[in-house]
Structure 1
């Protein structure tokens, strides 16, 4: 069942995504002109609904003893996705598993090891579960920020991309929240490419929509509030993102 967030809910989620550790209910309440008790009750409801699923630390594993972080892009049988995702999560060293809805590379696994030997052992453990590893990359940098669409109205986002990973070979992976009035909204990926809205050199990895992860195809129609993960291949970041943003917000 979908839980519909109102403006207060969205502002609470935005504040907690920015800095949950140093953000109190009274601080959030002050910006919303509501009581701290109201904010606490809303947070409880968001937790009970499964929207806020926890509060975690973002760790730089390279600084924590020079550890390596690897991203495994895997393919599993559609009927086995959930089971194999849980099995992969149980492997020592695995810190994150993402399940995509369709197609190849429908399982993304992030793991941490002391050295390449540890990462090879994790890869072997994945293979023993009949998880087919299509590609593997060392993660160089990961940056997260709050969801811009939940920011106070009129706020100027410091960065259109809501997340960024830089792989070991320097490839940048961006996540961008699609604006309601972006040029690409209501257009299929294939038509957007044909019309010149979206370069063939911008690779769409996934779309987060209504709490689900969709693997985009040429027939996929982009909606406002989708969160798109993409890789610009020899395309400037500004050019890669402009189709997903309102013209006055485009970089």
Structure 2
């Protein structure tokens, strides 16, 4: 389902996916990510589609060594373009044969960076002339020797065993909060209906289940809805989403951790 980028809020699962895709999109496996995050493979695939629909993941590109690919030259042009014309000129520059990447900056001089590939220095001079012809002032240029990439560090999941407190947390007025949490396999609420969980005291009166994400489905919960392991459940907690509110969705601590 498409999302407006202003409304899409990243949670722990989304951040884990983004880090893995930035690190190595080609070899990122939905099943591996699912096992690490404690959710199903279908949930991971659904989240990737949502990130793409929201425009957060814009595409997947190959990193090519053009020197090895036939001895080609990669050149970076640092350019100055009037701010009011920057967007239009950037699109024109993108159409020039050999141009492979354009980066526009918000303010200041050298506010457009153009990356281009040529067979020879004469080819790079031809690209420079064409950039000048469309109104781009080239302030400096140089051959690119190496370009390194790395995933965004804060998206990396914490090391060690993953037992997330909550995927996402929103504080409301008073002590209330909206919390998103993944149901662990041995959680008290797993395989019970919401009505039964409330009757048995697993869900307290201060906690209301308001949404369930299951694989590629978004469910509206009712009393007879069975909460399943790996469900991503959104709850409204009038007690502030404290440990008691989340305990229904977590596996009980093992004896080794309680001794």
| TM-score, normalised via structure 1 length | 0.60
RMSD: 1.1
Matches within 5 A, 1:99-178: 99-154=104-159
Structure 1 residue 4 displacement after superposition: 2.0
Q: Deviations over 1:164-217 (max 9, x none)?
A: xxxxxxxxxxxxxxxxxxxxxxxxxxxxxxxxxxxxxxxxxxxxxxxxxxxxxx
**2:29 equivalent in structure 1:** 24
**In 2: Cα distance, 1:134 partner to 1:67 partner:** 23
Q: Deviations over 1:139-188 (max 9, x none)?
A: 00011121111101248xxxxxxxxxxxxxxxxxxxxxxxxxxxxxxxxx
Bigger relative CO (Cα 8 Å, ≥ 6 apart): 2
Does 2:48 correspond to 1:38? no
Alignment: residue pair count? 155
Find the aligned partners of 2:112 and 2:52 in 1 and give their Cα distance: 26
Match of 1:5, SS?
coil
Correspondence for 1:14? 19
Listed as ranges, the gaps of 5+ residues in structure 1 are 156-251
1:46, 1:81 → 2: CA distance? 28
Corresponding residue to 2:83 among 73, 78, 82: 78
In the alignment, the residues of structure 2 paired with residue 28 and residue 120 of structure 1 have an alpha-carbon distance, to the nearest angstrom, of 46
Deviations 1:219-241 (A, max 9, x none): xxxxxxxxxxxxxxxxxxxxxxx
Distance (Å, rounded) in 1 between the aligned partners of 2:46 and 2:57: 13
Residue 87, structure 1, aligned to residue 92, structure 2:
yes
Deviations 1:68-127 (A, max 9, x none): 000000000110111011111111000000000011100000000011001000000000
Within the candidate set 50, 55, 77, 2:55 is matched to 50
* TM-score, L = length of structure 2: 0.58
* CA distance in structure 1 between the partners assigned to 2:91 and 2:53 by the alignment: 22
Structure possessing the higher radius of gyration over alpha carbons: 2
Q: Which runs of 5+ in 2 are unaligned?
A: 161-259
